[in-house]
Structures are given as C-alpha cells and as structure tokens.
Copies of this chain bind each other. A is one copy, B any other.
C-alpha cells in the first residue's frame, strides 16, 4: 500500500479521482477522453449489466445490435431532434491508411480513400434505429417493438472525468415503438421505475423519480423522466433517463403503421438509457476515506478470508477449517476469496480489501482456531466482532443482507439530512453556498426564471418529482404563483 487517499472533506474531487485509480476501477488511456475500465471495475459493471438485463427481459424486452456508424444524412434527419450533443462527435472521413512515402515507417491517411459520405460514430442510436424500424413496422401487429442494445457510444467531451464524463462510454439504450400515446407513456414510466428499483435495490442508492423541465429535456423528447441521486458532497447526479418521444422520431424517419381501424398513423416512441456513469454514482454515494464501500449485491468479492499464520503448517490447519466454509459459501451463491498468499502481510491485505470495498472480511489465526472463533469485520461500519465458526455461513449471509440495507439507509438518511424546504431567496443562496444539498422550492414554471437561477447560483432544477404534493406557493426568485415544489441542486 502506498500513501493514503485524499480526504473527502478536504478535496472531494481529488478523493474521487484517486479512489477510482487506486481501487483499480479505471484509468485514463492513450486516447484523449477515453478510459480503460480495469478488470475490477469491469466486474462491477458486469454485475450491473446482468441485473439490469434480467429486469429488461422480465419486462418483455429483447436485445439486438445496430451499427456503430451513422451516415451523415441520417444524422441530418434527426438533427433537429438532437441538437444538444449531435455536433460534438467523432467523424470518420476515410477508410484507409497508407505508408507515408516521405517518412519511412510512418502512416498517413490515404487521400484516395475518402468516403463519399462521412460516418459519425454514434453518440446515441435513435437515427440508425428509427431508420431501421421503418422497414420493420407496417401494421399494429408489429407493435409494440421492445428492443434494447448494449453498446459503446462517443460524444466529444472537452472536459472528462473517469466514469462521470468520458468521450467513449458504455451504456444500454432501449428504443421502443408503440401504437398509442398512452402505451408509449406507460413504457417510459415503467422503465423509469425499473431504473429506480435497480438503483435502490442493487446500488443501494436512493433516487428521486421525476420529470425534467423543458430546458433540461432530451431534444427529441416530449417528456424526459429521470432519477436523481445525491452524492456525499451534496451534489446531484442524474443516474438514468427515460424519454417519451411522442411521434417525433417516427415523423423524422417516416415510420407509419396501419392501425386496427385500418388507418395510417405515425408510431409512438420511447428511449431510455443508463451508462457507466452509474459506476461514478456508486462510488461517490457510499465510499469513505479508506476506499470503496460496495453494496453486497454488486460486489465482485463479497467475502474475503485472510488467514493469519506463520509457516506452512499453521496455514494448513487454518485451511482445513476454512475450505469447507468457502465451499458452503459458494454453494449459496456468495462470492468469496480465501487469500492465503504469503507475499503480503495481513495488515497489507486488510488495507487492500478495504480499498476495494469488500463488504465482509474474516480474519483467522491459530488462537482463533483453538477458540473455535473467527473475527468478522464489516466494511460499511468498520465494526469488528468475534463469532463462533459454527454457523458462520449463516452469520455471513445475514450480515451481507444487513450491509445492503444499512448502506441504503445511510445514503437515505444523508439525503434526508441534506434536503431543505426553502421559501426565500436568501435561504436558497445561503444553503447552496454553505451546505449544498437538494432544495425543494417553488418555481414559476418559466425557462427564463430557471436560467436566471442557474446563472446566479449554478443550481439547476434536477426534476419535478413525480410524487410532488400540490400546494400553493410563490417562486423563490420572482414571487410568481407556483403549485408544487421542484428539486434544485448543483449537479455532476
């Protein structure tokens, strides 16, 4: 172990960057803005993928794969729908390199291999997918079409941060087509709830389910739903979005169908996505100055067992006791690592597994063996307790469930403590400066006011919560009447 992590309280941002690297989650690559997701980080992402994919399939979706490239002309058809990120993208203009005649050993773009039409590396796949759906959909019998894709996408970001904002990232994008407006809205809402359930039950991150204001909406959408999570610095992180597209993309790509009543109509669309950004949310929501804290449901290693021994004989004695426990844990689907290497000291190992966020650590030495006990440390509370070896598998199993619940509850309490109901502009600005968090406040419903507030405070409306209560109030900035509170925060 090298030097310790920066402290959250001193430099939250540095703490995050260092943690991502030291815990072997990801690192910057030789390509500007693109990251390498390292094996340990990727194994967490795989667990996320598996859980989400199961939920998508349970709700009737299937996976497919569409091309990486979008021809410029298709992009133009979509452009008015997706102005936001449409233009900052990677453009393929040539299809060959050749030896540079002037510089031996060097390559150059072959000017004779210029594409007739430029290809854009997909920043999102609406254009290519809706242009395909045109051929797949003729009649109401072809609907709904419920398709998801796991893919890499590229958006040319100028300022990047590992997981939170990278030029290339991994994500899933669902693209569905429906016969009616109501069905498409129901789908949009269903997928928002799938994301919220995943965030809360697997990531142990409580989220607010809401709608974006017109300003923050995906350009091609009639409505954008989102889940918003609070990080430990009080900032919000948008963890997933689900868009009701109306008939916008169907019109842009001429996707019509024959209704049951034998009429031609445009289909109704949705799209929804979460990305490797979730890794950032997971890390920032729970971890501490010693390293990661992972919820057991997403931890690649749920239990680590560290033997404390001198010499091969002691190790063998410990192994005799431990190996049947390892076997039994695996049988129950609990992932366990018995770290019997003699290259590092137990202290080194403890620090390493703390850094990596392993939820439960067992330590056992010769004296424990004699007593028939084992020391159990939980990562979330750092509590250590001695338990009898007899029944230890049940103990661990219960403990993992406890940790999952506790991590969620802690994040929930943190959010509650850092959420403020505010009715005056003075209080609003004071909180944002002194104790950032979520602010539930009234807003007059106009984009002008929203922008003005952003300009003055850097806070944006994260969402209009789906469960917002109707109440009479006045906009914190303009004093104009308002009927419900929205959530303001600074955000990632």
A residues near B (Cβ < 8 Å) are 29-31, 34-39, 42-43, 45-46, 62-72, 74-76, 79, 86-98, 105-107, 109-110, 118-121, 128, 131-132, 141, 147, 151-152, 154, 156, 168, 170, 343
Knowing A76-B107, A89-B95, A93-B91, the reply to whether A43 touches B62 (Cβ < 8 A) is yes
Which residues in B have their C-beta under 8 angstroms from that of A87? 96-98, 107, 110
Which residues in B have their C-beta under 8 angstroms from that of A91? 92-97, 109
Ordered by A's residue number, 19 sampled pairs between the chains whose C-beta atoms are within 8 Å are A30-B67, A31-B71, A31-B119, A34-B69, A36-B64, A38-B64, A39-B62, A39-B64, A43-B63, A45-B65, A67-B168, A68-B152, A75-B97, A76-B106, A87-B98, A89-B97, A91-B93, A92-B92, A152-B152
Q: Are A96 and B92 in contact (CB under 8 A)?
A: no
Which residues in B have their C-beta under 8 angstroms from that of A92? 90-93, 121
Nearest B-chain residue to A166, judged by Cβ: B67
Q: How far is the CB of A90 from chain B (nearest CB, A)?
A: 5
Q: Are B97 and A94 in contact (CB under 8 A)?
A: no
Nearest B-chain residue to A65, judged by Cβ: B37
- Other-chain residue from B39, B132, B168 in contact with A147 (beta carbon distance below 8 A): B39
Assembly CA distance A59 to B91 (angstroms): 39
Nearest B-chain residue to A35, judged by Cβ: B67
Which residues in B have their C-beta under 8 angstroms from that of A75? 97, 107
- Other-chain residue from B30, B37, B152 in contact with A128 (beta carbon distance below 8 A): B30
Which residues in B have their C-beta under 8 angstroms from that of A154? 68
Q: Are A63 and B46 in contact (CB under 8 A)?
A: yes
Assembly CA distance A36 to B69 (angstroms): 11
Q: How far is the CB of A399 from chain B (nearest CB, A)?
A: 26
Which residues in B have their C-beta under 8 angstroms from that of A62? 39, 42-43
Q: Are B29 and A66 in contact (CB under 8 A)?
A: yes
Q: List 3 A-B pairs, minimum CB-CB distance, nearest first.
A: A34-B67, A39-B62, A37-B65
Q: How far is the CB of A70 from chain B (nearest CB, A)?
A: 7
Which residues in B have their C-beta under 8 angstroms from that of A98? 87
Q: Are B68 and A121 in contact (CB under 8 A)?
A: yes
Assembly CA distance A120 to B94 (angstroms): 10
Q: How far is the CB of A270 from chain B (nearest CB, A)?
A: 17
- Other-chain residue from B42, B90, B95, B121 in contact with A63 (beta carbon distance below 8 A): B42
Assembly CA distance A67 to B94 (angstroms): 20
Assembly CA distance A86 to B97 (angstroms): 8
Q: Are A69 and B90 in contact (CB under 8 A)?
A: yes
Which residues in B have their C-beta under 8 angstroms from that of A132? 29-30, 36
Q: Are B120 and A97 in contact (CB under 8 A)?
A: yes
Q: Are B128 and A31 in contact (CB under 8 A)?
A: yes
Q: Are B69 and A168 in contact (CB under 8 A)?
A: yes
Which residues in B have their C-beta under 8 angstroms from that of A152? 68, 151-152
- Other-chain residue from B34, B79, B94, B95 in contact with A107 (beta carbon distance below 8 A): B79
Assembly CA distance A72 to B98 (angstroms): 11
Which residues in B have their C-beta under 8 angstroms from that of A38? 64
Q: Are B89 and A96 in contact (CB under 8 A)?
A: yes
Assembly CA distance A170 to B152 (angstroms): 12
Which residues in B have their C-beta under 8 angstroms from that of A63? 39, 42-43, 46
Assembly CA distance A29 to B89 (angstroms): 21
Assembly CA distance A31 to B35 (angstroms): 27
Which residues in B have their C-beta under 8 angstroms from that of A131? 30
Most buried by B among A45, A70, A121: A121
Q: Are B64 and A76 in contact (CB under 8 A)?
A: no
Q: How far is the CB of A155 from chain B (nearest CB, A)?
A: 10
Which residues in B have their C-beta under 8 angstroms from that of A46? 63
Which residues in B have their C-beta under 8 angstroms from that of A96? 87-89, 91, 156
Most buried by B among A31, A43, A67, A69: A67
Assembly CA distance A343 to B260 (angstroms): 13
- Other-chain residue from B45, B68, B118 in contact with A168 (beta carbon distance below 8 A): B68
Which residues in B have their C-beta under 8 angstroms from that of A31? 67, 69-71, 119, 128
Which residues in B have their C-beta under 8 angstroms from that of A156? 95-96
Q: Are A343 and B107 in contact (CB under 8 A)?
A: no
Q: How far is the CB of A100 from chain B (nearest CB, A)?
A: 9
Which residues in B have their C-beta under 8 angstroms from that of A93? 91-94, 109
Nearest B-chain residue to A77, judged by Cβ: B105
Assembly CA distance A170 to B66 (angstroms): 11
